[in-house]
Copies of this chain bind each other. A is one copy, B any other.
Amino acid sequence: MVTTRNTREDVITAAGRLFASKGYHGTSMRDLGRELGLRGSSLYSHVTSKEDLLVAVVEQGAGHFEASAEAALGSSDTPIEQLRALIAGHVEVLLDRSDAAKTFLYEAESLDDDRRSLIIGARDRYEQVFRDVLAAGARDGTFSADLHPKMAAIFILSILNAVERWYTSDGPLDRNGLEQEIARFVEKSLV
């Protein structure tokens, strides 16, 4: 059996796992050490503080959603297809990067004020992408002209974020089916 020293990356990954499942306050540095097979105090050769770890995980999560939004916008010129790509991309971040995504969505409030503001800014920019696509669709006739883009964006993101709370890939609904159920429900509301 080969044993290798942990890297900073390993520490951040494990921290994401624990923060996502037990919360930031519910995770101790000793818990995290145990997860990696070392003492809590040894973690301080990789990070300067526990909050430093939270920052790293939350920024990863923000980055994944940002990248997904950018890819979705570039994938098509039509609002309806951009919206579908946004929905599919969000689901994929939530399922494939679930630790970072959940920590980004739910544990950022444990950051100090300055850093929390940065993360809220990232969330706002991401929501703005949805709003812009919806507004473009309302202008060009894809969606109803009396659509409220701001409300619709909030409602769509509400549905998307909640996926993490109920969906399991063990059930009858596969990932593609999930994305289609959401897109179907949402699109009916928009026309």
Residues of A in contact with B (beta carbons under 8 Å apart): 23, 25-26, 110, 148, 151-152, 154-155, 157-159, 161-162, 166, 181-182, 185-186, 188-191
Return chain B residues, CB-CB under 8 Å to A186: 189
Please tell me how many copies of the chain the complex holds: 2
Bound CA–CA A110/B166 (angstroms): 17
CB of A153 to closest CB in B, whole Å: 10
A25, A155, A159 interface centre (most CB from chain B within 10 Å): A155
Bound CA–CA A188/B151 (angstroms): 14
Docked-complex contact A185 and B23, CB < 8 angstroms: no
Bound CA–CA A185/B189 (angstroms): 6
Q: List 24 A-B contacts (CB under 8 A).
A: A23-B23, A23-B25, A25-B25, A25-B26, A148-B181, A151-B181, A151-B185, A152-B185, A154-B162, A154-B166, A155-B159, A155-B182, A157-B162, A158-B158, A158-B159, A158-B161, A159-B159, A162-B162, A185-B189, A186-B189, A188-B188, A188-B190, A188-B191, A189-B189
Given A155-B185, A185-B189, 4 extra CB contacts under 8 A: A151-B185, A154-B166, A155-B182, A157-B162
Does more than half of chain A's interface fall in helix, strand or loop, or is it mixed?
helix
Return chain B residues, CB-CB under 8 Å to A191: 188
A148, A157, A185, A190 interface centre (most CB from chain B within 10 Å): A185
Bound CA–CA A188/B143 (angstroms): 12
CB of A150 to closest CB in B, whole Å: 10
Smallest CB gap from A160: residue in B: B158
Smallest CB gap from A151: residue in B: B181
Return chain B residues, CB-CB under 8 Å to A148: 181
CB of A124 to closest CB in B, whole Å: 11
